[in-house]
Structure 1
Amino acid sequence: MNGKHPRDWYIDLAVNKYFANVDRKNLPAVLDCFNPDAVFTIQSHFTVHSGRDTGIRKMFETLFEYKTILHTDFEHIVDPDGQSISSRFRVELDPVSGPHVHLMNVNHWYIQNGKFQRVYVWMSGQNVLT
């Protein structure tokens, strides 16, 4: 679907279609949220992953090596006219070995044709999206 969507559509895309599947480590469902030529930028760490099936896929394969992943405590700002959403949230990660990771992040997504085209992330701590 092209064009403007209602506010709740953007929140559903971010929370239920994207983050819920990240937490489940459901790679096909996560990648389905992105356009093939999407670009994912971790602005706070000057890192860019390009292409849904190449750079972005590899980034999530690395993230999914964590034992547990949990995103909670969302706050959203939605711009239906600009087809974008920003979300502030808490991230909890447990590695296979090592200390628990707690982050407070902000993501900003630009939507094109109903999927993520550009994503910008600001992290409060270490870059877990390498």
Structure 2
Amino acid sequence: MSPRQRPARGAMESLLRVVHGLQTAGIAFGALAVWGVTRDWPGPLAFAVVGVLLIATMPLLRHPWGWIASLVTQAAVVALTWFEPVWGVVAIVLVGLWIYCFVKARQIERQRRAQGLDPRGAPGT
């Protein structure tokens, strides 16, 4: 019995997984900073919840609608500005990176379709 092979990752899934990973690392450091500045539990807890949300949505990125779940997490990343206003600058950079990767992935997949290739990276027929 051969193990079930997973389909190749498309550009969208690959790029957004990288962004989610970077955002999770940024949020971990943000939570530490908020704890160091305020010593107030709701702030670091909110950062932790959003970090877990980012990790939890990573498997959803394999679906064609996965980017919508990722977009919702971006709203959560921006909402952390309510707990730490300086986070707004970081959120702008991180969401800007998400937008860039989203647009670039759509471009790559569109190009692959135009060349008659599978947009997810599997060998063409």
TM-score normalised per structure 1: 0.28
Larger radius of gyration: 2
Say which structure, 1 or 2, has more relative contact order (CA 8 Å, 6+ apart). 2
TM-score normalised per structure 2: 0.29
